[in-house]
Every structure is written in C-alpha cells, then in structure tokens.
Structure 1
Amino acid sequence: MNTQKNSRVPVALTIAGSDSGGGAGIQADLRTFAFHCVHGTSAITCVTAQNTLGVNRVDAMPPEAVVAQIQAVVEDIGVQAAKTGMLLNQEIIFAVAQQVETLQIHNLVVDPVMVSRTGAQLIDDDAVKTLCHSLIPKAAIITPNRYEAQILSGLEISSLEDMQAAAEIIHKTLRTKAVLVKGGGMQGNLRGVDIWFDGEKLEALTTKQVETTNTHGTGCTLSAAIAANLAKGKNLWPAVQQAKEYITTALTYALDIGKGQGPVGHFFPLLELGTSSLPR
C-alpha cells in the first residue's frame, strides 16, 4: 500500500480520541495540523464527554470502526505522517498496529497515552503490554510523559539524569527510532525540559518556562506538531525542535476558558490580532 500519494498539500492522520471540550485529542491535533498548513484526517478511537474540569464519560469505538476509518483515509487520500493518541484498550491498540504494518504507514508518532500528567493510569496493564510490543516498535518516535516513561523504563524519575537514563532504556528495549521524554510533569527548573535520544544523540530541549495553569492538550499538540512537520518532509530532529517551539508559544497564549484547566492557544497569531481585527 502506497501511503505517500502525490498531493499539493501534505496530509497527516491522527488516530486518537475525541475531546468534547475541544482542548485535547483529535480536536487539538486537527488544529495543530491546520496551523502547520497540513491537511488533517482522523480515525476516532473513543468519544469522551469532558470539559476543563475533567472527563465524565468515555465510550470506545469498535476496533472494526477504527480500522475502517484508517483504511478509508489511507487508501484514497494517502498520508505522509500519522500520530496516535488515546487508544484506550488492548483490542484497539492491536488493530491500529496491524493497520500501520499492513498499510505501510510511515513517519508514525506515538504519544503513548497511558498515564495522565498527574500520575493517574488511563489504560489497563494488558493494553500497556500490547502498546509496547505491537505499536511502539513501529514508531519513528514516541513521546512519553514522566509517568509513562517510568512505566516504559522501570525507573523512578525525579532528576535530569533519570530522564536521560529512561530515554536510553526505552530506546534500547522497545526498539523505537527515537524517544522524547517530556518534562511537563517535572518540578522546578526541570518542568518543560524534554530529553531526546535516538541511539546516538542525547539532547535536552529547553525553552522558557510558561507560567500558566491552562495546559490541557499539551502532549497531544506536541506530538501532532511533530507529525505535521514530518508530513511536510522535515527530518525527525528538526521536526521535534520546531514542534517544541510551537507548543511553547501556544502555551504563552493559552486560553483561560471554563472553570478548570483551559487549552493551549493553537492559533496564537489570530489571538495576537485580537477579535476586533478579524474579518466579519
């Protein structure tokens, strides 16, 4: 299957859950793709009822429905990159992994959504095992947060050295091309410092710290930005660097909406203009 069909517009695919509050999941991914001038396509794995205060309900899609969505996009439109987010259960994870292999989907970014930034586990142990054995080895890069990196590496992470060691262990044991351990859940000066490892280069990505409580969707947005840059033909390391810059700026323009944790400002140039300057 040729997923690299000729198109005047790069195409990226998000395989993830729907966030009714619009802050994370496919909603955040599609906004990020659009910002990068990439046509966004989607395969919805689950539907959530959530807002800035939390998740009230989650309904899984049948694995067959997820497969049908992926096939419909790839077989007609073609994709230059894809990303996965919340896959929810073992059956969906296995089905997605099979499609990645069968349809030869390249430039796969896996955001291994297993544990929230606060440390709450989101999928069961069987799903974690399937993710590690079936999907992650097919990825160009995985982007675990602190707690996910602890599960994947078996290390307790509380320092920069721990993050570096975890990245090296994950790369070796799960056979992915590159790992980006995210530091959004770290404390102090390490908050927001990410660690890259590709088997050769061990690098810390550091940007300014943004003081905001409105950080909903940061992980989704970062992985989507990496996928968008890959879809545009960028190499992996520059794609990650530019995605890091994008999410940092989007955090600077985070949206203070709702009663809880608002989302990042995906379209910050429009926010800079102000609503009064927008065409009516």
Structure 2
Amino acid sequence: MKKGDRVANEYPQVMTIAGSDCDGSAGMQADMNTFLARKAYGISVMTAAVAGNSYGIHASESFSPAFIGQQFAAIADDFQVRASKTGMMADTPTIEAVAQNYQKYDFGPLVVDPVIITKHGAMLLEESAYQTLCDQLIPLATVLTPNFYEAQKLAGLTLTTEADIEEAAAKLQALGAKNVIVKGKHTGDQATVRDFVLLEDGKNFWLEEDYVPTDRVNGTGDTLSACIAAEIAKGESVEQAIRTAKQFTHRAIANEIAVGHKFGPINHWVEL
C-alpha cells in the first residue's frame, strides 16, 4: 500500500460537468468556488471554454466528445465522486457524451441545471440539443433546477399562478427527474423570490427570500445547483441540500462584492 492510499478518498468529493467561464463569475468557476465554500473537494469535467468578462461573452470553444470521455475516465480511475452536477452544454454531441459517460461510471446522484433559457427569457440551446437534453439527461437527474422560463419551456405551460408552477413541477417529474426545484422570477417588481420544491416522495413546499435589487447576479443558478450537489456529497438529504442551497445563494447575492465593471459575480465567501 502506498503512502496515503488508506485515506485517499475519505474526503467528500463533488464534480461539476460544465463550461469554463474565464472571468470566474459563472460556469465551472462558480461551481468550484461553491464547492470550496461548502467544504467539499471540487473535481471538474470541462465541456467548453468561454472568453468573456462582466460585459459579455466574446468567444467560445467546445471540446470533443472523445476528450470529454477521457476526462470522465481519468476521474473514475482515481477519485470517489459522491455527487455531480451539470451546467451549460452547447450542443447535442456534448449532451450525448455527458449522458453516456455519466451512466458508465459511479459518480453519485446527479443535479441537472438545465441551462436552456436565461433568467431574462433568452433561448440558449438550439431545438435539437434541447430535445436531447430532455430525452437523455433529465431522466438521470436526482435533482432538476430549472429557472422560471426553463420550467415553462420544459412543462409546455404558461406559469401565471402558484398552481401553474406546482403543475409544471409535476410535469418535470414525469420527464424522469426525481426531485424538482422551480426557481422563481427575478423581475425587479417583487418583494420576494419564491421557489417551489417537489420531492420524490410527493412532499412539496415553497422557499422564500427577499428580492435583492442588484446587478451582481452572475452565476446564481450555477451556485444553487453546485451547493445542492456539495451538500449531497457531504451526506445531507436532498431536502436539506435544497434548503441550504437556497439560503447560501441568497446570502451570496445579498452581500455584494465589487468585481468587474458591469454584471458582476455573487459573493461565495459568504457564510451561513
């Protein structure tokens, strides 16, 4: 036995499968910052890389399915990943590679952040990739974390009332996701942000925090899903992981840091 083998994989390890955002505010970097803040060891499979800053995205490159597969294999050969999460995946080949490789290895429960539509309603995926996401990745989700607009798209409903949102969550479970959190709108004309949670056993509840008027909101969805995955990796129940993630993300938004000139990151140094 080599030195260190006995304890090599005792520390909780959690993996993000996402693109790299070079300004650190979102994507893989936001995930890794969250893992560190929540005291879980972060591991990554990079699907793409983005050249961007607080003003916007200027260029991007996707990695080949073969290279994505090589990353999965390398991690499986050495680490004991206890939970995983996905972020934005640019196209059908990427989604297919992630879904196939995730099923090939044991990387724990999967949190799927279905990065389809921005919080302002702009579509991010072409229709063919969207359908692949629905058919191949969402059925693997232990937790699915759509924003308001993504939930509308996935459920095929216009969400106007609380009853509409509750119906949408049930439809998302019917797509194969075990647990669903439908994130509320962030339009600026509300006092609170309310998220609806539907668990695998049928239990459901609303989570509410004060709305924070700020442009320091890059990476909020990444952070929420990453925190859920980190808490699951540490042994928390899905319900408690979701509750912790909601509180952590809210505090990270409410306690601003001055980084970047326009749309800045949230504050992962915040403590619960």
CA contact (8 A) 1:184 1:191 kept: no
Matched, 1:61 2:63: yes
| Pairs aligned (count) | 264
Distance (Å, rounded) in 1 between the aligned partners of 2:217 and 2:258: 10
Distance (Å, rounded) in 1 between the aligned partners of 2:74 and 2:192: 40
Matched, 1:253 2:255: yes
Q: Paired residue for 2:73?
A: 71
Residue 30 of structure 1: CA displacement? Answer: 0.5
Distance (Å, rounded) in 2 between the aligned partners of 1:252 and 1:185: 14
Matched, 1:235 2:207: no
Distance (Å, rounded) in 1 between the aligned partners of 2:98 and 2:142: 15
CA contact (8 A) 1:183 1:191 kept: no
Q: What TM-score results when the alignment is normalised by the length of structure 2?
A: 0.92
Q: Could you list the per-position Cα deviations for residues 32-73 of structure 1 after superposition, in whole angstroms to 9, with x for gaps in the alignment? A: 001111110101111101111211111111111111112211
Distance (Å, rounded) in 2 between the aligned partners of 1:105 and 1:32: 18
Pairwise CA RMSD: 1.6
Distance (Å, rounded) in 2 between the aligned partners of 1:250 and 1:258: 16
Which stretches in structure 1 are left out of the alignment for 5+ residues?
Answer: 270-280
Q: What TM-score results when the alignment is normalised by the length of structure 1?
A: 0.90
Distance (Å, rounded) in 2 between the aligned partners of 1:196 and 1:209: 18
Which stretches in structure 2 are left out of the alignment for 5+ residues?
Answer: 1-6
Percent of pairs with identical residues: 37
Residue 186 of structure 1: CA displacement? Answer: 5.1
Residue 25 of structure 1: CA displacement? Answer: 0.5
Distance (Å, rounded) in 1 between the aligned partners of 2:235 and 2:79: 17
Distance (Å, rounded) in 1 between the aligned partners of 2:45 and 2:73: 9
Q: Paired residue for 2:118?
A: 116
Distance (Å, rounded) in 2 between the aligned partners of 1:18 and 1:247: 20
Deviates more, 1:89-98 or 1:186-195: 186-195
Q: Which amino acid aligns with 2:177?
A: T
- SS state at 2:197 partner: strand
Distance 1:191 1:149, change over 3 A: farther
Distance (Å, rounded) in 1 between the aligned partners of 2:218 and 2:151: 19
Distance (Å, rounded) in 2 between the aligned partners of 1:25 and 1:56: 15
